[in-house]
């Protein structure tokens, strides 16, 4: 009886082995190939895929003012194919829902697998309200690179950036100077 069970088990294992059950289909073939051509591996996503790995704002810029400038750094990796557009890739910066004014907001297109740390520069709009905001970035907001996965193009920095009134001695004793800040 034991021999029959062992033989049956070996038989099932051989069937599974030769049938390819559980094997992943990792190669996509072209229907127009001739049988003499070898199978060609083709990526299902044949464009760049920019990933924001981190976003940092210098601590000394965590308190700023209307019209001030911040210099965030971010780590970017192209986890997709080569970005052969040769164009600069745009990065939009935000404080909360306020779009920041770009000073330096682009980086050169990256090849597949390439990773880079980039320092950008944004000016705060004069219309931003006083308060605390989270800084965030979005790579290629208009998808000009034809990014294959835009869900990983945005990231928030840790901490808050506080927008305060200017700490300027010229405002001391000048009631009219403070009028715009109340």
DSSP 138-170: EESTT-TT--S-GGGSEEEPSS-EEE-----GG
Q: How far apart are the first and last CA of the chain?
A: 92
Residue 28: band (very low, low, confident or very high) from pLDDT cuts 50, 70, 90 = very low
Burial readout 131-149 (b: 16 or more C-beta within 10 A, e: otherwise):
eebebbbbbbeeeebebbe
| pLDDT per residue as tens digits for the range 94-113 | 999 999 999 999 999 999 99
| Structural domain range at position 125 | 50-162
Q: What is the pTM of this model?
A: 0.67
pLDDT band at 32 (very low <50, low <70, confident <90, very high): very low
What percent of the chain has pLDDT above 90?
A: 57
Q: Is 154 exposed, middle or buried (0-12, 13-18, 19+ CB in 10 A)?
A: middle
CATH of the domain at 82: 2.60.40.10
In a domain, 26, yes or no: no
> Residues 66-90: what's their mean pLDDT?
91
| Residue 3 located in a structural domain | no
- Of 143, 153, 133, 137, whose CA–CA distance to 61 is shortest? 133
Segment among 3-17, 29-43, 53-67 with least mean pLDDT: 29-43
Place of tokens 């920019």: 50
Task: Identify whether 21 is part of a domain.
Answer: no
Determine, yes or no, domain membership for 127.
Answer: yes
Q: Give the torsion through C-alpha atoms of 32, 35, 37, 40, to 10 deg.
A: 60
Q: State the total domains in the chain.
A: 1
Specify if 115 maps to a domain.
Answer: yes
Residue 42 belongs to a domain? no
Residue 105 lies in a domain: yes
DSSP 171: G
Task: Judge whether 136 lies within some domain.
Answer: yes
């Amino acid at each position: 009886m034991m021999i029959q069970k062992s033989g049956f088990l070996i038989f099932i294992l051989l069937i599974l082995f030769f049938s390819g059950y559980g094997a992943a289909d990792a190669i996509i073939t072209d229907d127009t190939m001739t049988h003499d051509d070898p199978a060609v591996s083709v990526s299902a996503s044949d464009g760049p895929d920019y990933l924001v790995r981190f976003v940092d704002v210098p601590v000394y810029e965590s308190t700023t003012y209307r019209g001030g400038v911040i210099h965030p750094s971010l780590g970017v990796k192209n986890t997709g194919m080569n970005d052969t557009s040769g164009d600069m890739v745009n990065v939009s910066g935000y404080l909360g829902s306020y779009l920041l004014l770009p000073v330096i907001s682009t980086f050169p297109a990256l090849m597949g697998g390439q990773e880079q740390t980039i320092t950008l520069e944004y000016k705060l709009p004069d219309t931003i309200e006083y308060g605390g905001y989270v800084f965030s970035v979005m790579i290629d907001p208009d998808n000009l690179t034809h990014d294959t996965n835009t869900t990983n193009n945005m990231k928030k920095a840790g901490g808050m950036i506080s927008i305060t009134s200017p700490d300027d001695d010229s405002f001391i004793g000048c009631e009219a100077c403070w009028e715009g800040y109340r």
